Structure 1
Amino acid sequence: MNKPDSLNSLSRGIASLALMLTCICSQAFCEDAPAKPGRPNVLLLLADNWAWPHASACGDKSVSTPTFDRIAENGVLFRHTFCQVPSCSAARAVLLTGQAMHRLGEAANLWGRFPDRLKVYPGLLAQKGYVVGHTIKGWGPGHYKGKKHTGINPAGKKYPSFGDFLKKLPGDKPFCFWFGSHDPHQPWNRGAKFRAGLDPARVEVPPYVPDHPVVRNTIVDYYAEVQRFDHECGELLKLLKSRGQLANTLVMMVGDNGWQMPRGLANVYDAGTRVPMAIQWPEKIKGGQSLDHFISFEDFAPTFLAAAGLSAPGEMTGSSFLPLVTGTGESSWRSAVFLERERHANVRAGNRSYPCRAIRTKRHLYVRNLEPELWAAGDPKTHWAVGPYGDIDNTPIKELILSQRDKPEIRPFFELGFLKRPAEELYDLSKDPHQMKNVAALAGYAELKRDLTHRLDAWMKATEDPRAGDPALVRFDSYEYFGMPARKKKKAPARKKKKAPARGKKEAPAGKAPASLDTPIRHSFLGVGNASKAVIVGEDGSIEWKVDLPASDGWVLPGGNVLLALYRTRGFPNGGVVEIDRKTKKIVFQYKGQQRETSTVQALPGDRFLVAELGPEPRAIVIDRSGKVLKATPLQCQKKNFHMQTRMLRMLPNGNYIAPHLLDFAVKEYEPGTGKVVRSFPTDDRGRAKRDWPFTAIRLENGNTLIGCTNGNRIIEVDATGKTVWRVNNEDIGEKLFDDACGAQRLPNGNTVITSYHANGDRVKLFEVTREKKVVWRYSGMTTGFHHFQILTTNGKALKNNTWK
């Protein structure tokens, strides 16, 4: 874990976790537990995107930070603090939970969801009598307990200001308060009053951006907000001192991640992960200290708990650094820090992350890019959020480099910050402190690289990183993204007057349902997904039934029970299959997957089930209710990306299997047992850049095959020779309803129902189109899309002769 080098903290493993949870539940963690006398207050002063070394105490002569300097003088300046993950929501989640990013589920992503299961230090302190609160920006951006982070937050109850919080504070209670400033987050236009003394000619321009007047002036704007943050923190400390509470308050002032520059925020280089940090606690910590020990954000929660006299829960991967600053430090403190990232902004086709893992020592930085074929800075064309190269936020510096990328003096900066990167990067910080010259391929560094690789692998395994066993895992890509789409540039108004819609009707925005739809059709259905779980939606749109299990495939069986193929969970580490009693919600049958992932399930006659298992040896298996494998059939597909091997595998009436293989761009029909491919339908007729990955394949009664192409956002019907005889996409229907068309179902009336997995908010999740490509029904309820579904009834009648889905 990200602890002292011995890694002996693995004793806080899964076995002891269960015991720890039992102990925690049995202790008096009640809201009104009396506070022990002498316990310190905890005050976190958190900046938004403040990078090392931009404080005068850190050696930056261009900026003035008297409050930060005073805290360092009265306490400790930390020279090697790293945020662990260079992304706002994820970094703050690590800070709150004391756990490495990859252990946090949906909280590992920007604009994700903070799971209720995660323990946070403010909550643990509150259960021991602390009064907890925050102001301005707590954890976020994202959703917590079903609401946006601005309404309810794991950092505690929100207050208008620190002063308001103190006014309501009982005199006998210690407090834990989070002051989360928006400074110095771009657009860097809030610090005008604090520009005095800042000179563009005197700022130091880092070598990874051009030395240009636009750059120098932008850095000054950034510094002005750093100085504004420092001033606001000074006012908070004056207020504490006036109340006589400063001496017994542990104050930490720190940035949440690096600055918004190319190779800064969203990158595991120092510009994105190394942050200024100083703490003071006059009653316990001697002033004037400067430490070079590696501190990770995982250490904050254990440290705050230790200061309050509490032990850290066993799942925390960080360590309290109090012994280092109180004079009882350990000689075995870590000699490296581990860094990582998953999805920052949603800026790549397919909602892809750019997964990285890294190890940073005093001398070197080793980076492993797990998907180097992707664009590190985001796709060159806007996918959803921010804009082109959207993992670099929109600033004057980004605009300068993009607009002048073809000039010889600017081109090197574009190539360094915006283009694709190799699978491995290695930097010698003694010669290259800004990490610009990759030496990973040089023979002289081979032995060092092997050592760093081994240490990184050991940490990933010790902290149960899901990518340790499956580097191509796409779990983090499948989590819902709650961020807004990029703003489109305004077009010149058209001269031709637009025809008004018919009276009584409103035009629908792209992907959204109109106010009314002139159709008598009403469907009920089972919907399944990773974020949406498994739900049955009635014809009136209400949720009639739900289980909190992430599922990729599901059926309502003739007897009424629900059959699900599960994503990987704690109880099903390789996914699995469950049958659930619809009335009691009890599991009446289960099978735990034997490969890396379980993607689909289909009930067969004779109490048997057809299951698709993904992994090093992808296979279709037939199991009975005891879980015994009756037949195994190898699948012929790529083995680099397990998650994308196959979906919606089904048994045909002739006994063969049909399997859509996404990254093979082919639907294959197999002979059971032997695995012989008897027929194959390619889906790359438009070129593979279109990403017509086959997700669903349905053999129709007429012998044709209906295929749903996910990222390609189209449905095609092919005949026995593979010739396309029917297709439908957004252009055909005149609306942008297709958004990752995973599932499809051909109804008895010949219409086709389609799911848009990545439709979120109030956008359309399911819609029905006729053979003539007219939309006749749509569903836009819930907030997340479905991986797959099953239409159950139409206008009160159960579907008969219901074809496959």
Structure 2
Amino acid sequence: MADKKVQKRIYTLLLLLLPIGIHAAQPNFIIIVADDMSWTDSGAYGHPTIKTPNIDQMALDGMRFDQAFLTTSSCSPSRASIMTGRYPHNTGAPELHSEMPATQVMLTKVLKEAGYYTASVGKWHLGENVRDQFDLIIEDKEGAGTQQWIKTLQERPANQPFFLWLASNDPHRVYSPEKIKQSNSPSMVVVPPHYPDTAEVRKDLANYYNEISRLDHDLGRVRAEVAAQGITKNTFILFLSDNGRPFPASKTRLTDEGIRTPFIITYPQRVQSNTTTSSLISTIDIFPTIADIANIPIPSTVSGKSFLAVLENPQNSIRNRIYAEHNWHDYQAYERAVRNERYTYIRNALPELAATPPADAVGSPTYQAMRKLRDAGELTALQMDSFTQPRAVDFLYDNIMDPYSTVNLANKTEYQSILKTLSADLDKWIQSTNDVMPKELTPDLFDRETGRMLPIHRNYMK
């Protein structure tokens, strides 16, 4: 441990002593984060109708990861996990809106110490205690922050390598059609089987598509500016999402609809164009990978693994399991999951509760249309999933044969060996990461039928 600290200090000192030209040769890093975008919802990942020309071109220019996973399908805990390289329950902020302690070491802290300029522009969802781990924070709550992305790129210090965390508000709800160029028609929508194919659902999904198209435009502007500055070759750009789409059976869920993320990297200096990889990657692996590329020692607090070897050869792999968790996000919850290349096992500690989506999804036109159809007895068994209670304790899904996680295999005799193996893996992970279920869980903040804040919690957001 002492050797690592000495090594880091020496490296930082050397950076400060280097001539400006050499110092500037350090790689730059840009992470572009979508807010509530499912992994399949772009042309790059096979969606037939959503207009995402810039995301699609990014995939052609770099490497597309087909098996990249989040540690949780919940906004702020997911971002805290990415930035610390730790699982949500290890960050001190495992629930939505919870505050990371100042003692948590974020990626930007080690980059700053190594001479990097660091900036966060857009949605700020990392808490108040860690603001000093960025040089610049331009916070945005109204969805206009992407206008500052280009300005920040242009006004960055010229004599420093840089790290930019560009956090979009798209495609997060609430959708405002008057602010969106209507380029995705409801008639072109592909309705996932979890939702009924109605006019309300199609319009809701079309508005979601439109916000993805707006995000796509912003991503394209960033890449164009990087090219205009002549720094494309030496700039690592990563595009991903913090969790799945804000619809039932997606956001907050531990199935692929919730935790699988779009994940595309361009970095011409080290990454070949138009490549894909099926190697399992967790978002806790981003921190150590960037540190590895920048030749900066990886702190002992980091739980992830560098996937630099995968960038250099997409056939390489660094892990055979990923792990994820579901804690409070508007509603009481406690679930844990392990996924290998084929199967997902989920353990649910609160089977008495329904799998209610987050409050913004509950209040959505889609969910409200589903409520009416439920009351009329017109939903399929799969579409009833968000309303059903009690639920199972154990879930097992075959992600190859059943990509939408529609059939729970946990009680089928022929899958007991797989279930036992994955359950044991999950137990080991829980123990090794000191994952202890709280004696008292945070209660529901919103009504599960309407999405409105419960009267006893009216002061929560003040």
TM-score category of the 2 structures, normalised to the smaller one:
0.7 to 0.9
CA offsets 1:592-619 (integer angstroms, 9 cap, x no match): xxxxxxxxxxxxxxxxxxxxxxxxxxxx
Greater RCO, CA 8 A, separation 6+:
2
Aligned to 1:442: 412
CA offsets 1:60-97 (integer angstroms, 9 cap, x no match): 11112121122111110011111110000000001100
Q: Indicate conservation of the 8 Å contact 1:218/1:396, yes or no.
A: yes
Distance 1:291 1:414, change over 3 A: closer
Q: 1:138 aligns with which of 124, 141, 146?
A: 124
Aligned to 1:181: 168
The yes-or-no answer on 1:431 pairing with 2:401 is yes
Please, which moves more after superposition, 240-249 or 82-91?
Answer: 240-249
Q: Distance in 2 between matches of 1:313 and 1:44?
A: 20
Q: 1:405 aligns with which of 353, 362, 374?
A: 374
Q: Indicate conservation of the 8 Å contact 1:34/1:129, yes or no.
A: no
Moved over 6 A (4+): 758-762
**Where does 1:513-592 land on structure 2 (aligned, <5 Å)?**
none
SS at the partner of 1:85? Answer: coil
Task: Tell me the CA shift for residue 759 of structure 1.
Answer: 7.6
Report % sequence identity: 26
Q: 1:62 aligns with which of 49, 56, 59?
A: 49
Q: Higher helix fraction: Structure 1 or Structure 2?
A: 2
Q: Distance in 1 between matches of 2:24 and 2:132?
A: 28
Distance 1:414 1:476, change over 3 A: same
Q: 2:289 aligns with which of 303, 307, 317?
A: 303
SS at the partner of 2:426? Answer: helix
Q: Distance in 2 between matches of 1:363 and 1:436?
A: 15
Task: Tell me the CA shift for residue 404 of structure 1.
Answer: 2.8
Task: Tell me the CA shift for residue 459 of structure 1.
Answer: 1.9
Task: Tell me the CA shift for residue 210 of structure 1.
Answer: 1.0
Aligned to 1:699: none
Task: Tell me the CA shift for residue 23 of structure 1.
Answer: 4.5
Q: Distance in 2 between matches of 1:328 and 1:412?
A: 39
Q: 1:260 aligns with which of 246, 250, 260?
A: 246
Q: Distance in 1 between matches of 2:379 and 2:243?
A: 26
The yes-or-no answer on 1:286 pairing with 2:255 is no
Distance 1:134 1:23, change over 3 A: same
Q: Indicate conservation of the 8 Å contact 1:194/1:227, yes or no.
A: no
Task: Tell me the CA shift for residue 306 of structure 1.
Answer: 1.3
SS at the partner of 1:108? Answer: coil
Q: Distance in 2 between matches of 1:113 and 1:307?
A: 29
Larger radius of gyration: 1
Q: Indicate conservation of the 8 Å contact 1:109/1:476, yes or no.
A: no
Q: Indicate conservation of the 8 Å contact 1:30/1:127, yes or no.
A: no
Aligned to 1:495: none
Task: Tell me the CA shift for residue 139 of structure 1.
Answer: 2.9
SS at the partner of 1:253? Answer: strand
The yes-or-no answer on 1:341 pairing with 2:326 is yes
CA offsets 1:409-463 (integer angstroms, 9 cap, x no match): 2263553112332111111223321112112111111111001111111222222
Q: Distance in 1 between matches of 2:102 and 2:232?
A: 33
Q: Output the amino acid matched with 2:259.
A: T
Q: Indicate conservation of the 8 Å contact 2:193/2:383, yes or no.
A: no
Task: Tell me the CA shift for residue 133 of structure 1.
Answer: 0.6
Q: Higher strand fraction: Structure 1 or Structure 2?
A: 1
Q: Distance in 1 between matches of 2:60 and 2:314?
A: 20
Q: Distance in 2 between matches of 1:291 and 1:330?
A: 9
Distance 1:426 1:244, change over 3 A: same
Give 5+ residue unaligned stretches, structure 2: 139-144
Aligned to 2:310: 324
SS at the partner of 2:305? Answer: coil
Task: Tell me the CA shift for residue 393 of structure 1.
Answer: 4.1
Aligned to 2:76: 89
Q: Output the amino acid matched with 1:377.
A: T
The yes-or-no answer on 1:217 pairing with 2:203 is yes
Q: Structure 2 length as normaliser, TM-score?
A: 0.88
Aligned to 1:365: 344
Q: Indicate conservation of the 8 Å contact 2:64/2:275, yes or no.
A: yes
Aligned to 2:392: 422
Backbone CA RMSD of aligned residues? 3.0
Q: Output the amino acid matched with 2:171.
A: P
Distance 1:486 1:212, change over 3 A: closer
The yes-or-no answer on 1:201 pairing with 2:212 is no
Q: Indicate conservation of the 8 Å contact 2:38/2:262, yes or no.
A: yes
Q: Distance in 2 between matches of 1:290 and 1:403?
A: 42
Q: Output the amino acid matched with 1:398.
A: Y
Task: Tell me the CA shift for residue 206 of structure 1.
Answer: 1.0
Aligned to 1:314: 300
The yes-or-no answer on 1:158 pairing with 2:123 is no
Q: Output the amino acid matched with 2:425.
A: R
Q: Distance in 2 between matches of 1:431 and 1:375?
A: 25
Distance 1:296 1:475, change over 3 A: farther
Q: Output the amino acid matched with 1:337.
A: I
Aligned to 1:273: 259
Q: Output the amino acid matched with 1:144.
A: E
Q: 1:53 aligns with which of 31, 40, 60?
A: 40
Q: Indicate conservation of the 8 Å contact 1:155/1:178, yes or no.
A: no
SS at the partner of 1:334? Answer: coil
Q: Distance in 1 between matches of 2:312 and 2:177?
A: 38
Distance 1:155 1:405, change over 3 A: farther
Q: Indicate conservation of the 8 Å contact 2:276/2:314, yes or no.
A: no
Q: Output the amino acid matched with 2:326.
A: R
Aligned to 2:98: 112
Q: Output the amino acid matched with 1:195.
A: Q
Distance 1:164 1:188, change over 3 A: same
Q: Output the amino acid matched with 2:329.
A: H
CA offsets 1:651-676 (integer angstroms, 9 cap, x no match): xxxxxxxxxxxxxxxxxxxxxxxxxx
Distance 1:154 1:188, change over 3 A: farther
Q: Distance in 2 between matches of 1:34 and 1:436?
A: 58
Q: Distance in 2 between matches of 1:418 and 1:34?
A: 62
Give 5+ residue unaligned stretches, structure 1: 1-15, 348-352, 379-388, 468-472, 490-509, 511-735, 740-757, 763-805
Task: Tell me the CA shift for residue 28 of structure 1.
Answer: 6.5
Q: Indicate conservation of the 8 Å contact 1:138/1:154, yes or no.
A: no
The yes-or-no answer on 1:41 pairing with 2:28 is yes
Q: Distance in 2 between matches of 1:191 and 1:299?
A: 39
Q: Indicate conservation of the 8 Å contact 1:99/1:298, yes or no.
A: yes
The yes-or-no answer on 1:394 pairing with 2:368 is no
Aligned to 2:429: 459
SS at the partner of 1:320? Answer: coil
Task: Tell me the CA shift for residue 199 of structure 1.
Answer: 3.2
Task: Tell me the CA shift for residue 34 of structure 1.
Answer: 5.4
Aligned to 2:141: none
Q: Distance in 2 between matches of 1:21 and 1:392?
A: 45
Q: Distance in 1 between matches of 2:181 and 2:425?
A: 44
Q: 1:226 aligns with which of 200, 212, 236?
A: 212
